Structure formats: C-alpha cells, structure tokens
Amino acid sequence: MSALVPAVSRRFRATALLLGAVALLFSACDRKEEAKPAPDALTLAPIPFTALPGWSSDRVAEAVPALSRSCARFKGQPADRPVGPNGVGGSIGDWLAPCARLATLPPGDEAAVRAFFEANFTPYAAGNNGAREGLFTGYYEAELEGSRSPDPAYPVPLYRRPSDLVMVDLGEFAERWKGERTAGRVVDGRLKPYEDRAAIVAGSLSGKGLELAWVRDPIAAFFLHIQGSGRIRLADGSEMRVGYAGQNGHKYVAIGKELIDRGALKREEVSLQTIRDWLRAHPDQATALMNVNPSYVFFQVLNGDGPNGAQGVALTPGRSLAVDSKFMPYGVPVWLDAEDPLDGKQRLQRLLVAQDTGGAIRGPVRGDVFWGHGPEAEQKAGVMKSRGSYALLLPKSVKVAAAGG
C-alpha cells in the first residue's frame, strides 16, 4: 500500500501540473490578447481655429503656392473621386470651390489668406485611435558632386528605373492593403523580388545602360536614396536635378537603429550628421552597414520648379509635408505643432500641405517636413526628431463622418 500511494500521488501531481500548465498557457494567451495594441487608425475630431497653437502668428500666405499646386492637381478630376483613403478628405467636388477662391487671393496678403481658411475650412485634430502625439522628421534635396559619364573620380552610379521593374499598388487588389506597395520583376509569370541594395551595389545592374550619372561619394549617394531627390554639381560646371523614379520593393531599414542596437550610438545621438560621421570614420564597415538597408531607389532627371512629391506636384520648401498615404490624403492643408528641430524650447507651428510620402513614414500621426536644399535645409532635416501633433483643414462641405471622425 505504501508503494501505491506515491505512485498514485505522482499521477495526480502530474495531472495537476499538466492542467496547471494548460491553464497558464490559456491565461498567457488571454493576457497577450488583452495586451495586443489596436491597429493603427486615423481618428479626427473637429476643433475651432482658435485651438490651433500659433495660428495667428504663422505667415500662412507662404503655404498658398503649395496648396495652389495641389488644387491644380485636383482640377479636371471627376468630382465624385474620393480624396484620400476611404474619402477621408471628402471628394474632389468638395475642393473645387475653395480652390477657385484661393486663386483670387491677393499675393502675400496674410489677413486675406487667414480669413480665406477660416471661412472655407474646418480644422480636425488628427489622432491614432485618439492619441494625438506623433513623430515628425525632416528631409531635404541633397547635393552631390558627379559626372554624366564614367570617370575614376566619380565611381558610384545612379541608376534609372529598369524596364523590368514592376511596381504594384497593393490597394488595387484589396481594401486592407490600401497605401501598401511593392515591386519586383515577372519571372515565368510570377512576380519575384528584385535585387536588394547589396546585390545592386555589387554590380548586378552594371553594363545594362541604366546609369543616369556617376557621383563621387558612396555615402552621399546613400543619403540621396533616403532623401529621394538631389542636385548634382557636374564636373563641367552645370547642374543636374534628379528625383525618385522607382524603388526595388524591399522594405526600408533605418541604419540609425542598427547603430543603436550595436551600441555605436545612443538613441538621443542619432541624426543624419552622426550617422554620416560614423560611416566616414569606419570605411571598412560602411558598405556593410549601408547594405543593412535593402531598399534601393532609382532616379530620373527633373525639370521644373523642384522635386516632385507623391501627389505629382513640385514640393515647396518648408511648406510640403510627407505623410502616410495609407491614412492621410494628399493635397490637404495640415496645421503642424511640433518641437523646433534646432531649438527644443521653441515650437514649429505652421501651415503645410500633405504632398508626399516615404518608406519610413508610417502611421496616422507621422510626418516628414520638406526643407528644400542647401546647408540650412540639411541641418534642419538631419536633426529633426520632433514630437508633436497636427490637424487637417478640410472644406466645410466635408462631413465629420466622411472625415473619419
């Protein structure tokens, strides 16, 4: 009998332990379900213009050229076409009258421009499931030294978009993929991934007649890929402006995060300038680090007023904003209230227009300010990691429900 008790006891203990483990498993699953964050969602709440911090102080007339370009883009489109995902910005028809009135404003008249917005638009505070604070960064038009023809002094090619690169808007296939894109090449009737950065840098596209120009510095070329547009000072004294023409479909990976993970930089130290300094100080590791980002951008020659954003209009320095098009509409005025990139004690409060996007711009409250070109633009863009919020200005004819509020 004494020999049976321990055996029975062991079986009961084993059963109890098994049941306990199962209970813990389901309990853990429940906790994981409870802890799972809600999917990103743009929420909008109407607010008065008096609730926009600094509204009365900004030189709002400086945003008119940017909005005029977006209005020109709207013109001629069907009036019932939605503006933005799920018509978050209303329809084209909602914009026609405000755009017509915009064209009649006296140039540079701050009072008239401010009155125009107040009479024709309603501000909506943007949030991610109601949370208003987000991250705002900056980008600029890079400057490089280069040549139109091969030269040992300019060893780094910039490539045109290959003819076999297929770029896919996944939102055309399913509503849940709105704002998502990929790219690749068709092989035996199937879309296959395109070469990544490492393969292209190693020469997978060389000799195919795709070279647009050659530049001196591989690190400068890397940052040109991130910025998406730039000016190349050519050896003959002329200048070539280049801009985004396509991307290889691989996801953008921030090498600043990689440097943080390695312990090479602290999070608060990361900027374009510190990353560039690290790359220059470690030439034996620079190529491998840059190749951690598999994304690769193809370029085209630009003519006209400036680099074009994703909306298809020329960007306006200090007044154009890149947004996540999965949530935000192009062409919509946006009131930004964020930390000043050069002075954290000051606020950056100004009217911009959503006209572009970028691989790192993800989420309902996320923006990238286009600062233009030159040393000051590079400085602002390079260090900008500002917490802040924004509000959309929508025509009064757009209903709150249509805006997603």
User: pLDDT digits over 316-348, tens only?
Assistant: 999 999 999 999 999 999 999 999 999 878 999
Say if residue 92's pLDDT is above 90. yes
Is the model's pLDDT at 276 over the cut of 70?
yes
pLDDT for position 210: 97
Return the pLDDT at 121.
Answer: 98
At 180, is the pLDDT very low, low, confident or very high (cuts 50, 70, 90)? Answer: confident
- Determine the pLDDT at residue 170: 86
pLDDT, tens digit (0-9, with 9 covering 90-100), for 191-241:
999 999 999 999 999 999 999 999 999 999 999 999 999 999 998 899 999
**pLDDT tens readout for residues 47-60:** 999 999 999 999 99
What band does 401 get if pLDDT is binned at 50, 70 and 90? Answer: low
Alpha carbon distance 263, 261 (integer Å): 5
Mean pLDDT of the 69-83 span? 96
Could you tell me the two tokens for 355?
């006209």
Query: What is the average pLDDT score of the chain?
Result: 90
What's residue 35's pLDDT?
62
Residues 6+ apart with CB under 8 A from 18: none
